Amino acid sequence: MSLKSNYRDGDSFSRKSKKEGYRSRASYKLKEILEKEIKVSKDQSVIDLGSFPGGWSQVIKNLLGHSGKLVAIDIQPMEPIKDCFFLEKPIEDITEEDFKEIKEFLPFDLVLSDMAPNISGIKERDDSLMIDLVDRVLFVIDSFLKAKGSVVIKVFHGESLDYTNNALKERFKNVKIFKPKASRPNSKEIYVIGKELKII
């Protein structure tokens, strides 16, 4: 398959996202992950890390009922989503105090991260930056995810995938590596899914 056809196929998801009102083509990556791997029920609470522009948050909000809660966090402002609790701050700086308005929804049932660093093309640097982002997700898992909860984390093939896979195997009963169809075939991104957080 040529590079040109890869991007043409990928652009079909971009066109579909505009047509269906999603803020990014990444929405379809999460939709496939949830359809095949993780069931989100209407009474759950979900935290979306690095949420801008909000494509993943839109997908989750459509699945949660009024009894559930979506929390989104990013260092840049995000256009509001109805009934979404948004925090504009670095992930590593969040505390329980930030959630005092919605404390009845803690701990979370599901942690999501579609974060990625700005790619330099220098493999060692990019791996290091991605691992730094993964560590921020692990901080949230260790601090705010309930027992038997789940996580979805985007990483790159290579060192950050191995690092994340090992870190999740320490914490979760079931760990799976997944590449959605909406990811471009030539993309190095891949998702690691952890299910059933162990009670330690």
Question: Interior CA angle at 107 toward 166 and 170, to 5°?
Answer: 15
Distance CA 35, CA 48 (A): 17
Integer angstrom CA distances of residue 45 from 10, 50, 159, 180, 192 = 31, 17, 31, 23, 20
Burial annotation 30-61 (CB, 10 A radius, 16+ → b, else e): bbbbbeeebebeeebbbbbbbbbebbbbbbbb
Question: Please, are residues 2 and 184 in contact by the beta-carbon 8 Å criterion?
Answer: no
- Active-site annotation holds for 82: no
Q: Which of 29, 31, 69, 154 is catalytic?
A: 154
CA torsion 173→129→127→57, rounded to 10°?
A: 50
φ, ψ for residue 158, nearest 5 deg: 115, -140
Residue with tokens 């999740």: 168
Distance CA 172, CA 57 (A): 24
Distance CA 160, CA 139 (A): 16
Name the residues annotated as catalytic: 154
